[in-house]
Amino acid sequence: MSSSNVNRKQAFNFLKKSLENFNFEAKSEHCNNEAQTKKFLIDPFFTLLNFAHDDLIPEYEADFGERISNKVDYAIKLNRKEIIIIECKKLNSKLTDKEAGQLSGYFQNAKNSRIAILTNGREYRFYSDVALANTMDSKPFFVFNIEQFNDNDIDGLLDFDARIINVSEIISKAQESVFIEDFESTFFKEMIDASPEFLKFIHKKMTFKTKYNEERLKELINSSLLKSLTDKVILHETKTNSKSAGIITTEEEIQAYHTIRTLLIQNKKIPNSRIGYRDQKGTFNIMVDDNQRKIICQLKFTDSSMKISIGNNDYPLENLDDLLKFKNELNDRTLSLLEL
């Protein structure tokens, strides 16, 4: 069903336009039960992903052996082996652990299924079996809300386009997503409430040693410490990754970058993952997609002056707070570059 000949950028732009023109509000007026939700919301949603009406097999049987046969709302056969199962609920139904548990039962008994979708027509939750084979994970690896989405969400949804879909690649992405989330969650827990093992490890690595005091070490792990460590890591990575000798990224440049980035990502249309910077001799460039042709602005900081350039416009800065004045211009510039 998938094709490698599809231009992903064109497909992305077409899907984005289709989603923006979906008119969810008008369609939802007709959705008072599950059947209507399927007809007016769910079926058209999969049409946007280039699945034909015949691709969605209704009332697909997930057989529990000797028990009574259970039927999942839809199944999509991708090829002779792989299928996606879809459990539908009526619009405005809450997608709770109970519904996910029901889908999990179907998932376990539907052969050759490694992707399952739970939806109420507004929100689509995508599950797999990353943690334990043939057992649906308790958390979705991807969630798409048709009323609230950004470019990152669209790009994730595009993986499920009938012309592009590759289950192995999707599972690899899901595994990476789950791994990163688990790492971040574990690390976060250690920062909030450090375990004795973690504290002993840190104490062992310290040069200046005093008698091990668990409570004292816990007190040192606070928001000020985390901010200080974050700034040091950023400065270290910048110096380590710099391709040009003699470039030193200053604390003022890093602070300015965080200020501008914060201003930008307040706009839901601007994905935070696409905003970055590159320090060069004489200028500090904030850009989209780490692309020199997509520079949002340039910072030119010296010991005696600070200046920001946005497009062809140069502005002097008395202090870093002056950056707040350029929020609208920075937003407009970024949005135009995202479209390129």
Averaged confidence pLDDT in the chain:
86
pLDDT category at 18 given cuts 50, 70, 90 is very high
pLDDT category at 113 given cuts 50, 70, 90 is confident
Mean of the pLDDT values across residues 108-131?
A: 89
Lowest-confidence range among 71-80, 137-146, 205-214, 262-271?
Answer: 205-214
**pTM here?**
0.62
Taking 60 as the threshold, does the pLDDT of residue 67 lie above it?
Answer: no
Token couple for 144: 């798409």
Lowest-confidence range among 25-29, 64-68, 162-166, 228-232?
Answer: 64-68
Contact, 87 vs 72, CB < 8 A?
A: yes
Contact, 283 vs 300, CB < 8 A?
A: yes
Question: Which is nearest to 257 in space by CA: 279, 239, 232?
Answer: 279
Mean of the pLDDT values across residues 75-83?
A: 85
Lowest-confidence range among 6-15, 43-52, 135-144, 185-194?
Answer: 185-194
Taking 90 as the threshold, does the pLDDT of residue 235 lie above it?
Answer: no
Taking 80 as the threshold, does the pLDDT of residue 144 lie above it?
Answer: yes
Helices (H), the chain: 8-20, 24-28, 34-37, 43-48, 97-109, 151-158, 167-192, 196-205, 214-220, 223-241, 251-265, 327-338
Mean of the pLDDT values across residues 124-134?
A: 89
Contact, 48 vs 22, CB < 8 A?
A: yes
User: What is the structure's pLDDT at 34?
Assistant: 94
User: What is the structure's pLDDT at 42?
Assistant: 95
User: What is the structure's pLDDT at 246?
Assistant: 57
Q: What are phi and psi of 39, to 5 degrees?
A: -65, -45
Higher pLDDT, residue 66 or 107: 107
User: What is the structure's pLDDT at 69?
Assistant: 58
Per the listing, tokens 């601007």 go with: 270
Taking 70 as the threshold, does the pLDDT of residue 4 lie above it?
Answer: no
Taking 70 as the threshold, does the pLDDT of residue 247 lie above it?
Answer: no
Mean of the pLDDT values across residues 206-223?
A: 80
User: What is the structure's pLDDT at 12?
Assistant: 92
pLDDT category at 297 given cuts 50, 70, 90 is very high
What would the pLDDT profile of 22-36 be if each residue is shown by its tens digit? 999 999 999 999 999
CA distance 96 to 94: 6
What would the pLDDT profile of 306-318 be if each residue is shown by its tens digit? 999 998 889 999 9
Contact, 63 vs 75, CB < 8 A?
A: no
User: What is the structure's pLDDT at 306?
Assistant: 93
Token couple for 294: 């997509």
In angstroms, what CA-CA distances link 51 with 10, 55, 282, 313, 330?
18, 6, 52, 47, 39
Spatial neighbors of 205 by CB under 8 A, at least 6 apart, are none
CA distance 6 to 230: 41
Taking 60 as the threshold, does the pLDDT of residue 178 lie above it?
Answer: yes
User: What is the structure's pLDDT at 62?
Assistant: 65
Share of the chain above pLDDT 90, in %: 39
Share of the chain above pLDDT 70, in %: 92
User: What is the structure's pLDDT at 146?
Assistant: 94
